Structures are given as structure tokens and as C-alpha cells.
A and B are shown apart, each in its own frame.
Chain A
Amino acid sequence: GESVGLHLPTLSVQEGDNSIINCAYSNSASDYFIWYKQESGKGPQFIIDIRSNMDKRQGQRVTVLLNKTVKHLSLQIAATQPGDSAVYFCAETDNYGQNFVFGPGTRLSVLP
């Protein structure tokens, strides 16, 4: 798996608003997609995943949407809270866990 190191784009939202973080993936053969949350000084943590046979999957306050036509993935966080402030990475892989690729990450900043 590879990723490209870039200065992170930042999304600022008001506490209580909904957040939408977007990710464009590269490999049309990717079958499995994951969103990770990374808080400062910690390792990335699994949030939610989705397989390519689905368009939408919901978790607790989070929803992942997959648009295979345009190779786009999004993470929606409902009623954003201060504890949601972190860097969010999308990742794609094939069904065998090969070719695991991370997106560049988006920093979510929750404003009081």
C-alpha cells in the first residue's frame, strides 16, 4: 500500500453541524474501502468500511457513501462533536487485501 505525503486539506465545521469528507480513489478494481480516524499522536483507527457491492453503509453517527461510477467515497458525520476533530483517511484495497492505498487525509476541525 502506498500513499502520497501532502499538506493536509482542512475542513472546519461548527459543532452540531454535519460533516462531509470526500475521497477520490484510483483503482477501479478496488473492492473494499475503509475510513480511518487519526487523532493527534495516535495510530489510525477504523471507523467504517464498505464493500463495492454496496452504495451506502451506516454506523453510529457516520455514513459512508460509495459511487463506483466516478470512483468517489465520502464519509458523513452527523451532529459533529469536538471529539470528532482528527485527520480522516480513506483507504482502498482489493478483496484479497492487496494493493492497499491510503488517501492523503483530511483534517476535520470542529469549531465551538
Chain B
Amino acid sequence: DSGVTQTPKHLITATGQRVTLRCSPRSGDLSVYWYQQSLDQGLQFLIQYYNGEERAKGNILERFSAQQFPDLHSELNLSSLELGDSALYFCASSEPGRGYTFGSGTRLTVV
């Protein structure tokens, strides 16, 4: 157990729908990062939050949004889903000077 918890582990939904992925960071970590990983691809950075505020944005589509709550858990919202959004979505947390710790991911399948 890495200490980073992601739910759900698997999600199957239809095109056009909206889903919410949830992440609880490792205890004491203020930063949360979201990554997308399509089949046999690298990790695509989506967005970073630090202590509730957006810190950095990567290749995140306008259909996607995220937030970090006062208790530091984060949610990634994916809307108007397309087949190409099917991927593994990872959350990671970190503190300065420490590496990332990844959750086990949410596998999203859009049918």
C-alpha cells in the first residue's frame, strides 16, 4: 500500500457520460497530481494541486476538471466522455524534496 488511495479501481461508462475519480493523498502530502496513461503509452501529466489551489496544468482537455478539497483529497471530473478517454488515470502525491508516490490507478473504459 503506497498510502495514496484511488477510487474506484475500475469504471465502465458510455460515451457522453460524466464520471468522477477520487484520490486521497499520502498522509502529510499537500500536492496532488493527476496523470493519464493510455495503453502502452507514457504518463501524460494533467494537472497539479497544492494545498487546495491549482499549481500547474498540463495536457488537460477542457472537458476535464479537477479540484482539491480542504481535507486534501482530490477529484478529477471527466465529462462528455469519448472512446479515446479510455485509459488508466493515476493520482500521485508528494512533498517538496520527496518523489511522487502513486496510487494504483482507476481504469476507465468508455464504451
Could you list which residues of chain A lie within 8 angstroms of chain B, going by C-beta atoms? 1-8, 32, 34, 36, 41-46, 49, 89, 91, 93, 95-97, 100, 102-105
Contacts and interface: CB of A to CB of B under 8 A. Distances in A.
B105 A100 contact: no
A3 B44 contact: yes
B interface, over-half SS: loop
Interface residues of B, number: 32
Given A32-B97, A97-B94, A100-B33, A43 B42 contact: no
A102 B42 contact: yes
Contacts of A2: 44-45, 58-59
A6 B2 contact: no
B49 interface: no
Q: Which of A5, A89, A93 has the most CB of B within 10 A?
A: A5
Nearest to B91: A43
Given A3-B43, A32-B99, A43-B90, A97 B105 contact: no
A98 B71 CA distance: 22
